[in-house]
Amino acid sequence: MVETTRIVLAARPEGAPTAANFRTETAELPPLEEGQVQLRTLYLSLDPYMRGRMSAAKSYAKPVEVGAVMVGATVAEVVESRDSGFAKGDVVLAHSGWQSHDVASASSLRKLDPEKVPVSTALGVLGMPGFTAYSGLLKIGQPKAGETVVVAAATGPVGSAVGQIAKIKGARAVGIAGGPKKCAALLDEFGFDVALDHRAPDFAEQLKAAVPDGIDVYFENVAGAVADAVYPLLNTYARVPVCGLIANYNAAGSSEGPDRLPSFYGRILIKSLTIRGFIQSEFVEELFPDFLRDMSDWVADGRVHYLEDITEGLDNAPEAFIGLLEGRNFGKAVVKVAD
């Protein structure tokens, strides 16, 4: 029997996750059945949505049960196969979660070509985050040439792709990030037109000066104070794809203060705003083939760049994930589990 080392949810967090919310253990894998493959994890993706899955609150997906393996997309090597479509040594995109080995149904896997691009990109620019940016921006945001697109968490895998796709479509890209290093990358690495530091004491004033013609598309990844500065600057008929609310993920309860919902609704009405939340999976059937074609071409010809923040070792995944929620990562957060 083959053993897997796995990190499970030890307890549901109250507020920000800590190391105590995770536990490392070993378990035996079940024997292979027909149509299954045994996998050895090479890379594990860390993504903000995982914080929501640690909670028992009702959401778009079932929560991780206490004692169960933490969820996550993985790039893995086939160790053994009982399916004609996969052979030992193949590299695949899987969803094995936070563990070193797994047994998976062959039908749930996508074969990758290590000769074309680094296989870790299947977890980032050529995977779920890249597709989130592509589908949310083009389906909901619908940027037009000459318009202004603003995106928060702009150096992350979703935000950086949003800005670069906006530029490809002829729009002006304004990125918001935390700290001078990330803002420099927005300009030098990703080609944004403007980079703003949300930590600056005069951030709201800087944003207003950076968008003299207002904002036509705001790709929402953060909420909180960033959104407070953005919403008064939205133009009539502006579009807001709501992808994430990372500023709120660790909230332990309802926020204090006045109810601002009536004024928010008033702004939607007066400016004829389109605000739509989305989960990328709802667009897979319609748009994923186009995404793979377009994004692969854009990466190959240099029109889309990407950064990866790689942590070595599965045992370091909890600390890297906590850092992700605090904004300490610089690029797509990936854990290298094995060579």
3-state secondary structure of 289: helix
What is the CATH classification number for the domain harbouring 113? Answer: 3.90.180.10
pLDDT bracket for residue 169 (50, 70, 90)? very high
Residue 294, in any domain of the structure: no
The number of distinct structural domains making up the chain is 2
pTM strictly above 0.85 = yes
Residue 246 has what pLDDT?
A: 65
The 10 Å Cβ neighbour count of residue 324 is 21
Distance CA 64, CA 51 (A): 10
Same domain, 107 and 32: yes
Instruction: Give me the phi and psi of 292, to 5 degrees please.
Output: -60, -40
pLDDT bracket for residue 82 (50, 70, 90)? very high
pLDDT bracket for residue 214 (50, 70, 90)? very high
Q: Is the per-residue pLDDT at 261 higher than 90? A: no
Same domain, 153 and 200: yes
H/E stretch holding 159 = helix 157-168
List all residues 6 or more positions away from 190 whose beta carbon is below 8 Å from its beta carbon: 154, 155, 160, 163, 164, 175, 305
Same domain, 137 and 276: yes
Same domain, 88 and 179: no
Give tens-digit pLDDT for 182-197.
999 999 999 999 999 9
- The parent domain of residue 327 ranges over 3-124+306-336
Q: Is the per-residue pLDDT at 256 higher than 80? A: no
Say what percent of the chain tops pLDDT 70.
96
Over range 107-129, report the average pLDDT. Answer: 95
Beta bridge partners of 148: 172
pLDDT bracket for residue 254 (50, 70, 90)? low
Long-range contacts of 112-116, Cβ-Cβ distance < 8 Å, separation of 24 or more: 112/75, 116/296
What is the CATH classification number for the domain harbouring 256? Answer: 3.40.50.720
The 10 Å Cβ neighbour count of residue 89 is 9
The 10 Å Cβ neighbour count of residue 188 is 11
Residue 249 has what pLDDT?
A: 54
Residue 287, in any domain of the structure: no
Same domain, 187 and 104: no
Same domain, 142 and 248: yes
Same domain, 61 and 110: yes
Same domain, 203 and 79: no
Long-range contacts of 194-199, Cβ-Cβ distance < 8 Å, separation of 24 or more: 195/154, 198/152, 198/225, 198/226
Residue 297, in any domain of the structure: no
Amino acid (one-letter) located at 152: A
Same domain, 7 and 88: yes
Same domain, 64 and 103: yes
pLDDT bracket for residue 318 (50, 70, 90)? very high
Residue 298, in any domain of the structure: no
Distance CA 179, CA 183 (A): 6
Over range 211-219, report the average pLDDT. Answer: 98
